[in-house]
């Protein structure tokens, strides 16, 4: 099996580690996290160092790539940029839990993670570095932009367009044909019946924008 590193070590990384173990496509060589001491253990895997150590590790430990395991969409994008600055051709792999269901005609970009119980229906297009978290559902012909995320139990109807950097909160639903503009946050439990513009925070039933937001404003609390 190819050896990869998991970049990130918090709760989201633990769920990804479980998916990697169950999918049996890659061997986990260790964890990369600048905020942890080298040698620390995460689910039995050793912290090998931070981003800066990756170039040496790739040579020494025959690591062929890695999965980005950071839940916040903006932070994930920043870390991807940092790693590409260090190693322009770094190979970011995607991970799909074997209990995920991927229908015919679906495409999934690089660096995307698909957790247990996820349903991606026919002809949906999933971008790069997305998160489809536990039991999320993206229905037919929908598009999930780069660095966008569906939290656990979030669900969309068919033909939705969820643009780059959007986060759909836990248990939220997005009705068919709706477009959500880039970097918008849909709050937990919201029901989105009509389009939402970019860079807003929206929640409620039906979901309404409550304020604007800047890229990087926190939303995972
Ligand atoms: C939408 C969200 C980003 C708003 O965060 P915020 O701007 O910091 O909002 P606050 O927590 O300060 O709450 C402000 C008010 O909005 C209400 N509110 C916040 N989120 C809400 C939601 N999803 N639905 C209904 N009301 C909500 C709060 O109860 C509070 O009401 P109050 O003023 O009457 O007390 C956040 O609540 C949210 O839902 N994040 C997504 C979490 C998630 O899905 N995580 C996934 C983990 S995998």
pLDDT digits (tens, 9 = 90+) for 99-113: 999 999 999 999 999
Q: Is the minimum distance from the CB of 133 to ligand 1 under 6 angstroms?
A: yes
- How far apart CA 73 and CA 53 sit, in angstroms, is 23
Residue 129 Cβ inside 6 Å of ligand 1? The answer reads no
Q: Ligand 1 in contact with 166 (CB < 6 A)?
A: no
Q: How far is the CA of 171 from the centre of ligand 1 (A)?
A: 13
CA of 206 to the centre of ligand 1 (A): 15
The pTM assigned to this predicted structure is 0.97
What is the atom index within ligand 1 of the atom nearest the CA of 171? 44
pLDDT in tens, 123-140: 999 999 999 999 999 999
Q: Compute the distance from residue 198 Cα to the ligand 1 centre, in Å.
A: 18
Give residue 221's pLDDT band: very low, low, confident or very high (50, 70, 90): confident
Q: Is the CB of 151 under 6 A from ligand 1?
A: yes
Return the ∠ at Cα 147 (arms to 180 and 164), rounded to 5°.
Answer: 30
Q: Given the structure tokens 């247990």, which residue do they identify?
A: 116
pLDDT of residue 158: 98
pLDDT over 90 at 115, yes or no: yes
CA distance 96 to 119: 11
* pLDDT at res. 44: 97
Instruction: Tell whether the model's pLDDT for residue 59 goes beyond 90.
Output: no
Q: Are 9 and 69 in contact (CB under 8 A)?
A: yes
Per-residue confidence (pLDDT) for residue 77, from 0 to 100: 98
């Amino acid at each position: 099996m190819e050896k990869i590193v998991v970049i990130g070590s918090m709760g989201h990384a633990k769920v990804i580690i479980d998916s990697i173990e169950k999918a049996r496509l890659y061997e986990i060589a260790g964890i990369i996290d600048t905020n942890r001491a080298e040698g620390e253990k995460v689910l039995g895997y050793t912290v090998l160092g931070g981003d800066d150590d990756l170039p040496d590790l790739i040579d020494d430990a025959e690591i062929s790539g890695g999965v980005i395991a950071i839940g916040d969409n903006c932070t994930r994008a920043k870390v991807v940029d940092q790693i590409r600055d260090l190693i322009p051709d770094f190979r970011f792999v995607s991970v799909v839990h074997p209990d995920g269901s991927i229908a015919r005609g679906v495409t999934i970009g690089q660096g995307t993670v698909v957790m247990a119980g996820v349903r991606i229906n026919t002809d949906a297009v999933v971008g790069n570095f997305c998160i489809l978290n536990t039991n999320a559902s993206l229905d037919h012909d929908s598009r999930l932009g780069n660095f966008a995320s569906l939290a656990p139990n979030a669900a969309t109807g068919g033909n939705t367009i969820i643009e780059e950097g959007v986060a759909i909160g836990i248990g939220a639903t997005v009705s068919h044909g709706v477009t959500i503009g880039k970097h918008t946050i849909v709050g937990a439990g919201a029901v989105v019946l009509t389009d939402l513009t970019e860079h807003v925070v929206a929640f409620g039933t039906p979901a309404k924008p409550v304020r604007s937001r800047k890229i990087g404003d926190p939303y995972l609390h």
